[in-house]
Structure 1
Amino acid sequence: MTRVTPELRALASRALDGVPEDMFSWTCLKERSKSATVWRAESSSGALVLKQHRHPRPFAQELRAYRDWLPRLDATRTADSPATRVARLLAFDAAARALALTAAPGERLSLGPSELVLSAHAAAGRFARALHSLPVADDDPLPLRDGVSARLDEWHARAAGLLSPSERDALQRLSDRRDAFAGVRRVPCHRDFTPDNWLLAGEDLHVLDFEHARLDAPEADLVKLRADVWPADPALEHAFLAGHGPLTGDAAARLDVLLALHAVATLAWAERHADPDFRALGRRALSAALASA
């Protein structure tokens, strides 16, 4: 198991206002050799979570989300609905690519149509809408439609040998809806927005893991739900959209295109890395996409 580095010990001490480094107890919550390691550090002064990234891009994306975007969401909460919360950034070490965050309470959501789970999905819908509504400049010189088109062409080429002729034809029909991206502005997105990254504490929903967060089409945050959550329980889709708001025709077309892109990208990645779990995930996404073709 990865050891707690001196940089993490120093960061924990700084995040909790100088608690001596030897006063913390450490628990490894997640260790991924290719992405990040997550620790929980506890002392008599409190607990915090430290996340150390292997690579600079996810660190920079998560830092921007916690530092620049998420503190501005407080004003979006309403008194008559469960709050959707996020951790607060306490400190960071850019050289070590590490973040110190407040510890989020709660448990992973279980699937099923219970009122509490449905309420959580509605809260997630409200959170997504609020995140996408943050006023952030889209300073990418490449129009979103052109960016999506380039990604479609690249991943369709990589996955071509993994698809039957009828599957390729159906996905091409979905890809032809790319004009729905014309004139659309990129917005802040989580980009891994699934119940795996939500914790339920009482009636409050806590959203975690912003390492993939960046500006994108707003429908990017609905793709994995559409691919791997909603087909098994349509009530969850209805609850989410009750909080988020209904999709316009153009938004639905953009979601179809991004779902096709997600399916082929996942299948191609799984083939390259010989990963059976991702291959199954790609096939589920493909099935959901074909249902929309």
Structure 2
Amino acid sequence: MTDLAGTLLAICRRLGDANAQPLAVHQGHNGTVVLRTATGTGEVIVKLHRGHERHRQEVHAYRHWTPALRGRTPRLIASTENPPAIVITALPGRPLAEACLSPQREVEAHRQAGELLRQLHAAGPSRTQPDMTTWLVERGEYWLALGRAIIPANRQAEIRAHLTALSDLGPIPAVPCHLDYMPRNLLAEPSGQVAVIDFEHARYDLAARDLVRLATRTWPSRPDLEHAFLVGYGPLSALDRQIIEHCSHLDALTRDVQGAQV
């Protein structure tokens, strides 16, 4: 067992079952590591966050928002600030990104995914303060500064034009969001149900921003999945479409800069 796995096992034994036994270590994206562990009450996941902000966001989501999804997410068992880690229930199934589903089941899975996201967006009251469009423009400028050496000048100008257009749409109410709503974070359970995992990015944001990665990475080649998702989620307004268009440039920017930093 690696030192990191040993740390995660120690956390599980301290917070939950003193006799917990390790099953498998999973390397998550962006440096997150999780340990699947067997306990006397079933299998659990121990997740070590790479920072306190991600930890606070995920704990808050599990305590306040995921109950609205009625058992279709892991359940928070325990958390610790030092180190920033959580223990959650382990769910059966495989991520949609890896699951071998029939075309009919895949379509149904994306319909359920849309329904679950609609429920998450309604899990807390909407807010108009702070103005998220202004905040996103500031974040865009932050990432542009980080990527100045790798982003061509004409591309920087294009991104700024979209950030300005986004700002002109505001203020727009913000709602509870997942912000990494992708097939890798959607589980296809053996029962046929879909579950949502990985809430470390969850916070108040623009609802349509939760659709950016699906709209740019999944739907272009699978319009059938877009249709199924929107059957569950509901139709998109013209404003939603504009937000997706403008925020897709911010998403691509952060992806490019993070990729260059690896």
TM-score range, shorter chain: 0.7 to 0.9
Given the alignment, which residue of 168, 178, 181 partners 1:193?
181
The normalised TM-score by structure 1 is: 0.78
Instruction: Say if 1:138 and 1:4 are closer, same or farther in 2 by CA, change over 3 A.
Output: farther
Give the superposition deviation at 1:40. Answer: 1.4
Letter in 1 for 2:198: D
Per the alignment, residue 72 of structure 1 pairs with: 68
Give the superposition deviation at 1:245. Answer: 1.1
Letter in 1 for 2:171: G
Q: 1:139-174, CA deviations, whole angstroms, 9 ceiling, x for partnerless residues?
A: 85x312211222233334544554556645654553
In the alignment, structure 1 segments of 5+ residues that lack a partner are 14-20, 75-83, 276-293
3-state secondary structure, aligned to 2:22: strand
Per the alignment, residue 72 of structure 2 pairs with: 85
Per the alignment, residue 233 of structure 2 pairs with: 244
Report the RMSD for the aligned CA atoms in angstroms. Answer: 2.5
Instruction: Say if 1:7 and 1:167 are closer, same or farther in 2 by CA, change over 3 A.
Output: closer
Q: Is the 8 A contact 1:180 1:250 kept in 2?
A: no
Partners of 2:141 and 2:100 lie apart in 1 by: 35
Per the alignment, residue 44 of structure 2 pairs with: 48
When Rg is computed on C-alpha atoms for both structures, the one with the higher figure is: 1
Letter in 2 for 1:197: N
Per the alignment, residue 264 of structure 1 pairs with: 253
Partners of 2:192 and 2:30 lie apart in 1 by: 34
Instruction: Say if 1:167 and 1:112 are closer, same or farther in 2 by CA, change over 3 A.
Output: farther
Note if 1:10 corresponds to 2:14.
Answer: yes
Q: Is the 8 A contact 1:192 1:212 kept in 2?
A: yes
Give the superposition deviation at 1:62. Answer: 0.5
Per the alignment, residue 199 of structure 2 pairs with: 210
Given the alignment, which residue of 102, 105, 111 partners 1:122?
111
Q: Is the 8 A contact 2:109 2:194 kept in 1?
A: yes
Q: Is the 8 A contact 1:121 1:240 kept in 2?
A: yes
Q: 1:198-228, CA deviations, whole angstroms, 9 ceiling, x for partnerless residues?
A: 1111320011111111111111211111221
Per the alignment, residue 78 of structure 1 pairs with: none
Q: How many residues end up aligned between the 2 structures?
A: 255
Partners of 1:259 and 1:182 lie apart in 2 by: 17
Given the alignment, which residue of 66, 81, 103 partners 2:90?
103
Per the alignment, residue 17 of structure 1 pairs with: none
The normalised TM-score by structure 2 is: 0.86
3-state secondary structure, aligned to 1:191: coil
Note if 1:231 corresponds to 2:235.
Answer: no
Q: Is the 8 A contact 2:69 2:119 kept in 1?
A: yes
Instruction: Say if 1:7 and 1:153 are closer, same or farther in 2 by CA, change over 3 A.
Output: closer
Q: Is the 8 A contact 1:177 1:254 kept in 2?
A: no
3-state secondary structure, aligned to 2:125: coil
Partners of 2:249 and 2:29 lie apart in 1 by: 29
Partners of 2:157 and 2:227 lie apart in 1 by: 30
Letter in 2 for 1:151: R
Give the superposition deviation at 1:96. Answer: 2.8
Instruction: Say if 1:40 and 1:111 are closer, same or farther in 2 by CA, change over 3 A.
Output: closer
Instruction: Say if 1:7 and 1:260 are closer, same or farther in 2 by CA, change over 3 A.
Output: same
Letter in 2 for 1:58: R
Instruction: Say if 1:181 and 1:216 are closer, same or farther in 2 by CA, change over 3 A.
Output: farther
Letter in 2 for 1:239: A
Partners of 1:239 and 1:166 lie apart in 2 by: 37
Per the alignment, residue 290 of structure 1 pairs with: none
Letter in 1 for 2:45: V
Instruction: Say if 1:139 and 1:27 are closer, same or farther in 2 by CA, change over 3 A.
Output: farther
Instruction: Say if 1:36 and 1:175 are closer, same or farther in 2 by CA, change over 3 A.
Output: closer
Given the alignment, which residue of 142, 147, 158 partners 2:135?
147
Q: Is the 8 A contact 1:85 1:207 kept in 2?
A: yes
Q: 1:97-155, CA deviations, whole angstroms, 9 ceiling, x for partnerless residues?
A: 22111111111224887011111111111111111112236385x31221122223333
